[in-house]
Amino acid sequence: MAEPLKNLLHPALVETMATHIAANATGFDRVRFVDIACRNMEQLELMQRALQIRDALEETLPDDFETAAAILSASLPQSGRSGITGWALLPVSQFVAQNGLGHFDLSLALLKQLTPHFTAEFGIRPFILAEQERALATISTWTTDSNYHVRRLASEGTRPRLPWAIRLPALMRDPQPILPILSTLLDDPEDYVRRSVANSLNDIAKDHPDLVASFVGEHIETASPERRQLLRHASRTLLKKGHAAALSNFGFAPLSGIGAAMEIETPQVVFGNALAFKLAIANEGPAPQQVMIDYAVHHRKANGSLAPKVFKWKSLVLAPGETVIMTRQHAIRAITTRQYYPGSHRVEILVNGTVLAGGDFQLAMP
């Protein structure tokens, strides 16, 4: 069994934090810090543990934020010596976010300093919420930093819908202020950074689909393979939904003369096994057609309604008169993000975002 996520923060890590802070803070009450940070820790989940360690920092570091920030800065890894790093820096960034709004520039500089050792994407968001224009003016300068972790922080920390983080409603309403940041990083040499840019654009597409389709269209001409891959990943939600302009960006024209037939080979699926189905797709038109084939499984919810989840399958070019036979095995097993319920479910075939075939199957729980 996988180690629980909460155990990324544990008592030994707290002890290590205390050692590094004590080395840089005269009079630091190490015992009190560890006691507060580890109190009933076994009963707490990951983010609860992080917040409790943050509270321990607040209780034991100096009340003057500038002094506390200097101690934390000195406690980070330096050339030739170790320091606070990894998941231990999650509560440190939370401490800065909680206490540093009155020291705006100092706080952003500290978050930038710690992000090579653990991302500060959660820590910078309260500063964006408080003073968006001022925060983005600083964050924009990070896009050309020599450290790729800092460059990624510029895109990841400004994502309007960053998972696990507070959302940025103003950027959800109007994402234009972060588009220059994303544009600058489109051709970043690090895939790690480019994936973050794609995820941010995909976030924006959920609220502004036409804007992202237009952005992609403007940046796909003469795109390198790496940029094209980024833009394709950024368009994934739009492509699954059959957004016409997004499909056109990647050469998928409106369907003409494409037919599809599907056969469900496992009309009864026992939970833990796989749904199997076969697709025959044909081009009955006079010209070759590029098609993107996805499928949607409509899962039964607790109230009996069905909710679709789209899965990528295959893209191909069909010659005139060509028929292609494809088969798929879709596992239906326990996952942390879904609760399964027995009864009738449905699977549908989407070609260039258009439903062309479908059928029902029964899910039985053992």
- pLDDT, tens digit, for every residue of 149-182? 999 999 999 999 999 889 999 999 999 999 999 9
Q: What is the pLDDT of residue 253?
A: 80
Q: What residue numbers bound the domain in which 302 lies?
A: 258-364
pLDDT > 90? residue 255 = no
- 241-250 residue pLDDT tens: 889 899 999 9
pLDDT > 60? residue 29 = yes
Q: What is the pLDDT of residue 240?
A: 85
pTM to 2 decimal places: 0.81
pLDDT > 80? residue 3 = no
Contact 72, 120 (CB under 8 A): no
- 88-100 residue pLDDT tens: 999 999 999 999 9
pLDDT > 80? residue 183 = yes
pLDDT > 80? residue 185 = yes
Q: Which residue, of 249, 284, 313, is where some domain finishes?
A: 249
Q: What is the pLDDT of residue 80?
A: 79
**pLDDT above 90 coverage of the chain, percent:** 90
pLDDT > 70? residue 142 = yes
242: its two tokens:
């059959």
Of residues 71, 136, 129, 66, the one with CA closest to residue 102: 66
Please state, in angstroms and rounded to a whole number, the distance separating the CA atoms of residues 37 and 47: 13
What is the number of domains present in the chain? 2
Domain containing residue 149: CATH number: 1.25.40.290
Residues 40, 149 within the same domain? yes
**pLDDT confidence of 270, banded at 50, 70, 90?**
very high
Residues 214, 294 within the same domain? no
Contact 350, 293 (CB under 8 A): yes
Cα 108 to its chain centre, rounded Å, is: 22
Q: What is the pLDDT of residue 2?
A: 64
Q: Which residue, of 196, 214, 249, is where some domain finishes?
A: 249
User: Under 8 Å CB-to-CB from 326, ≥6 apart: which residues?
Assistant: 278, 279, 281, 293, 313, 314
Residues 331, 225 within the same domain? no
Residues 241, 304 within the same domain? no
Averaged pLDDT for residues 130-142: 98
**pLDDT confidence of 1, banded at 50, 70, 90?**
low
pLDDT > 70? residue 351 = yes
Residues 137, 161 within the same domain? yes
Q: Which residue, of 199, 216, 249, is where some domain finishes?
A: 249
Residues 266, 187 within the same domain? no
Residues 159, 284 within the same domain? no
Residues 279, 180 within the same domain? no
Domain containing residue 327: CATH number: 2.60.40.10
Residues 238, 282 within the same domain? no
Q: What is the pLDDT of residue 171?
A: 97
Contact 362, 269 (CB under 8 A): yes
**pLDDT confidence of 10, banded at 50, 70, 90?**
very high
Taking CA atoms, 271 is separated from 3, 268, 360, in Å, by 25, 10, 16
Residues 128, 269 within the same domain? no
Residues 113, 148 within the same domain? yes
Residues 56, 155 within the same domain? yes
